[in-house]
Amino acid sequence: MAIEFNELTQLCQALRDITPPQDVGSNLKGSAIEAAVRHYLRGLVPEQYEISSGRAITSFGAAKFSRECDVVIYDPRKSGPFPMVGFFPIEGVLAVIEVKTTLTEKGMREDVGKIRRVRSMEAYQGEYAEDRDKTGFGDNRPLGVVFAVTTANRSAKIAQWLQQAVASVELHQRPNFGMILPDRFVCYGTDYPMAGGAKRLRGRHMYPTEAQQILELRRPQTLFESFLPHGVEMRARCPTTFDIERYRACSEFKPLVDALACA
């Protein structure tokens, strides 16, 4: 069941104010807010794609697992049986979203690090060069989004935190944008026309590779609800191919692939 933006805002604010008893664990509010965000996203993401939580995985390189992601939007046609155990092959990962009850400077650094890990993963036949001729999209990696319920800091601070957190991160591994309920949005800005049909609303866009500045904006619902589904669809057009045998050939995944084949 999907929920509207205003309903999400009310739900998250109510959940934020809950005081859970000590014997139920410290993450009660966080996990409930993540679930609410997933319900909201169901109304934005095309129905052929699935929404869950878990870890991105890849058959390339030494770092084959991402850290735990609060929200994973993925294409089940490029995921094989792995989602059964909360793993999502990078070939099918369309977006990852990190959800914070309260956004802090430390939390921003943590989320940038998680998103960096996913956006640095290599996919089979995943041509991650900035090739707009194939997709019409200026960034062919999974979207990376920071989503927060609230923050105690002023608007200018949020953009400053992001600027500092990404200073040592390669352009193509940075988050695409951030949302802070109920009415703040962090994205990128340019003063020149975007190429290749890239999504742009009045000089605001989601492409760290082309950014001239980081913007912190008010009343951002339209931007978020435009950028997210557009970015998901453009990522889905990327020429990636899921091949379970490539994962079976990795020692980290072979026992799991064999077990899933029997499930």
Three-state helix/strand/coil letters over 197-212: CCCEECCEECCHHHCC
pLDDT at 144 (0 to 100)? 95
Question: CB of 199 within 8 A of CB of 227?
Answer: yes
Question: CB of 96 within 8 A of CB of 142?
Answer: yes
Asked if pLDDT for residue 48 goes beyond 80, the answer is yes
Band (247; pLDDT cuts 50, 70, 90): very high
Band (3; pLDDT cuts 50, 70, 90): confident
pLDDT at 137 (0 to 100)? 45
Band (130; pLDDT cuts 50, 70, 90): very low
Residues 144, 114: Cα–Cα separation, whole Å: 9
Asked if pLDDT for residue 155 goes beyond 70, the answer is no
Residues 132, 209: Cα–Cα separation, whole Å: 13
Distances (CA, A) of 215 to 127, 161, 168, 187, 212: 29, 12, 19, 5, 10
pLDDT at 202 (0 to 100)? 73
Mark 193-212 as b/e (b = at least 16 C-beta within 10 Å).
eeeeebbbeebbbbbbebbe
Nearest CA to 107 out of 157, 73, 143 is that of 157
Token representation of residue 72: 């994973």
pLDDT at 128 (0 to 100)? 46
Distances (CA, A) of 251 to 60, 63, 99, 237, 256: 12, 13, 32, 30, 10
Band (119; pLDDT cuts 50, 70, 90): very high
Token representation of residue 85: 């155990």
**Averaged over 103-130, what is the pLDDT?**
84
Token representation of residue 31: 């996990």
Q: What is the dihedral of CA 139, 144, 148, 153, to 10 degrees?
A: -60
Query: pLDDT tens across 196-229, in order?
Result: 556 777 778 888 877 888 888 877 888 899 999 9
Asked if pLDDT for residue 85 goes beyond 90, the answer is yes
Instruction: Please give the single-letter amino acid code of residue 193.
Output: P
Instruction: Please give the single-letter amino acid code of residue 102.
Output: T
Exposure of 223 in the CB half-sphere (CA atoms within 13 A): 26
Q: In the chain, where are the structural domains located?
A: 48-262
Asked if pLDDT for residue 191 goes beyond 90, the answer is no
Band (195; pLDDT cuts 50, 70, 90): low
